[in-house]
Structure 1
Amino acid sequence: MGLLTQILTVPLAPVRGVGWVVKRVAEVAEQEAYDTTPIERKLAELERELLEGRISEREFDRREDELLDRLEAVQRARVGDSPGPQGEERSGEAEEGAGHDGQ
C-alpha cells in the first residue's frame, strides 16, 4: 500500500516543495524583521558622524530618536511573538477563573 500511495501522490510533489520553500522564506523574513543588529550599526555610525562633525547635534538627536523608535518597535514585536511569561500569565488567569467557578 505504501508504494501505491507514493505513486498516486507524485503529482502533488511540486506543491509540497513550493509549500516548504514558502515556509522557509517566511521564517527567514521573520528572523530579519526581528534582527536589531542593522539598527544598532546605524546608531553607531550616527554617533561617528556626530563625533567627526559631519552632522549637527540637532540632526543627530532627530535621527537617533527615529532609530531608537524603530529599535523599540522591533523589541516589542519580538516580545509579543515569543511564548514566555505572557503565555504563563494567561494560563494563570485561566486557573484563577476555574477556581472561582468551583466555589
Structure 2
Amino acid sequence: MCGSRTAAAVCLPATRSRLISSAAVVDQAIGVLVALGRISPADGFAVLREVSQRTTIRLSALATDLIPYCQGSNLPESVQTELRARAELSANIPADRQYPP
C-alpha cells in the first residue's frame, strides 16, 4: 500500500507509469476517431469523454477497448451506438464503411 512516506515514494513511479500508459492509449483511441471520422483531435477527445460518461465506462477502459475493436474484436452494441450518436460522423464516412468499423 501507499500509506507511509516510504511506501508512497515506491508507489509514485508505478502510479506515474500507469498514468502515462493510460494517456498513451487514450491518445491512440483519439487518433482512431480522428482518422475514421475525419474530426479534430479535440472533437475525438470530446467523443470519447461523452461516450464514457453516457455508458459509465472509464475513459481509459473505453479507449483500451476501442483499439482492439478496430482490429476486429467485439465492442458492446451500446458503446457502438453511443460512438455513432456522439460522433455524428455518418456524412463523413464512405458508404461502404461503418463508424466505428
> Considering only CA atoms, is the larger Rg found in Structure 1 or Structure 2?
1
- TM-score, scaled relative to structure 1: 0.34
* Structure showing the higher helix proportion among its residues: 1
- TM-score, scaled relative to structure 2: 0.35
